[in-house]
Amino acid sequence: MLLATIYSGDCMFRAMYDWVLRMAHHRHAMRSLAAISFAESSFFPIPPDVMMVPMVLARREQAFRIAAICTAASVIGGMFGYAIGYFLLESIGQWVINLYHMQDKVGQFQAMYGQYGAAIILLKGLTPIPFKLVTIASGIAQFNFPLFVILATITRGARFFIIAALLKRFGEPVQAFIEKRLNYFAWGFLILLAAGFAAVAYL
């Protein structure tokens, strides 16, 4: 039963990877990437790396454009997440917090913002911990908004441009390496994603 589940998952990963590679050349690919990046910063659970990495591998000549779109959309989505925490905490904000079981952690983040607000935004934006937690908590804590935008741009830009630069420079061998071990990368990504949510719940 377990082997069948793993095999089914492996087939699904391969199909999704092939689909994203095909979509990378679609005329709406950049818009789709921007939409995912925007949503992930405020409410959506899946990070844009899932779409960004195959897109850069398929269009390495546009690696930095892809990273720029990811960064801009993520920062704009972060502004929306900030607005949820600042203006809509009792409605949309509470729904998102409950959805991701972030009730206790948002309070802890809020208490830490007075001393470590800038460091929290910079560091959490680079980790598997959901960035939406940072953006919503920033709004709840009424963190300085212009500074929040600057810090979010730095941390998200660093994450996406580093990935893009590495894939652009070592794209062909990296693509061959990933495709040969796609299942390991996919399961590893899922584990990292789960670890990020676990960190929110238990750390």
Q: What integer pLDDT is reported at residue 127 of this predicted model?
A: 72
Q: What integer pLDDT is reported at residue 3 of this predicted model?
A: 36
C-alpha distances (whole Å) from 8 to each of 4, 11, 20, 184 are 6, 5, 18, 14
CA atoms within 13 A on the CB side of 92: 15
| Contact predicate 64/22, CB 8 Å | no
Pairwise CA distance, residues 36 & 22, whole Å: 17
pTM of the model: 0.75
Where would I find the H helices in the chain? 2-23, 29-40, 49-58, 63-87, 94-99, 103-124, 131-140, 145-169, 171-180, 182-202
* Domain of 148, in residue numbers: 2-202
Q: What integer pLDDT is reported at residue 182 of this predicted model?
A: 58
Q: What integer pLDDT is reported at residue 5 of this predicted model?
A: 42
Number of domains in the chain: 1
At what angle are helices 2-23 and 49-58 packed, to 10 degrees? 60
Terminal-to-terminal C-alpha distance of the chain: 33
Q: What integer pLDDT is reported at residue 7 of this predicted model?
A: 42
Q: What integer pLDDT is reported at residue 73 of this predicted model?
A: 95
> In the chain, which stretches have pLDDT less than 50?
1-9, 201, 203
